[in-house]
Amino acid sequence: MRLGRIGYINCYPVYGAIDRGVTPLAAELVTGTPSELNDLLAAGELDVSVVSAVEYARHARDYVLLPDLAISCDGPVRSVALFSRQTVAQLHGRTVLLTASSRTAVGLLELLCRDRWNVDPHFAQARAEAADLDGLAQLPHEAVLVIGDAALLLSAQHRYPYRYDLGEEWKRWTGLPFVFAVWAARRAANQRAVRAAHRSLLAARDWGLAHLDLLAETAARATGVGIADCRSYLAGLDYALSDQHLAGLTDFFRRLAARGLVPDGSLQFLQVA
């Protein structure tokens, strides 16, 4: 069993107990960016992984969702943001750099630009890694989409006069939570092993949410972001997948499908009984 995890601190509440040996996991952990894990799961190199929500929609015939487990927000997310030199109303025809790290964030930004803000920027793939903030600054652009730990650092540096939190913008638009990442398993994987991994992940998640102070200290050392900010950030995320989260996820998929960006389909869950 090979199980993927994102290296960002937003996964600490799920994997912290596993890393510390508190919760056993009968699987090999593979760390990568969301896009790297998306590709590994699609290629069959992983059996289970946290993946971009949009990636599940694209491969729903091959995957099942793990119940009650996601990375979501009900308002500001803080780690997925558009940093801009202009207001969004002024971005029509301007260059907006896109991170290669998260397909969900890119899809959400495209929907917000065209259906919420009514602007049509020129989207360009960032050649520099999102974590290389100095490298990004050297590329010609009016705005840039940054996710993960790098977004937390860039927010603290105040390099751009305008910052748009994509979780907050979705909430204002729809009134619903937004699900950025889910845990999915390949249908061809050993389902008994998948269910065991799912139980371990839920137990680790529960331990992590009860030990956010400890995890915030580790996150601060890893990122250079202050402990209090890391604690506030982790506490502001939701790691469940309730009916309200599913409503937000379904609405997001519906909007993407209407633009032909993902197939139109229903959510299919792992049978845990």
Domains identified in the chain and CATH numbers? 2-71+178-258 (3.40.190.10), 80-174 (3.40.190.10)
CA distance 176 to 22: 34
Question: Which phi and psi (to 5°) does residue 221 adopt?
Answer: -65, -35
The more confidently predicted of residues 78 and 99 is 78
CA distance 123 to 121: 6
89-142 residue pLDDT tens: 999 999 999 876 678 999 999 999 999 999 999 999 876 555 566 766 777 799
35-44, 69-78, 133-142, 159-168: segment of lowest average pLDDT:
133-142
Indicate the pTM of the whole model: 0.93
- Is residue 153 within 8 Å of 222, Cβ to Cβ? no
Question: What does the pLDDT average to over 208-226?
Answer: 96
Interval 160-188 mean pLDDT: 97
Q: In the prediction, which pLDDT does 24 show? A: 97
Q: How many helices, marked H, and strands, marked E, lie in the chain?
A: 11, 10
- Closest to 151 in 3D by CA, of 85, 233, 207: 233
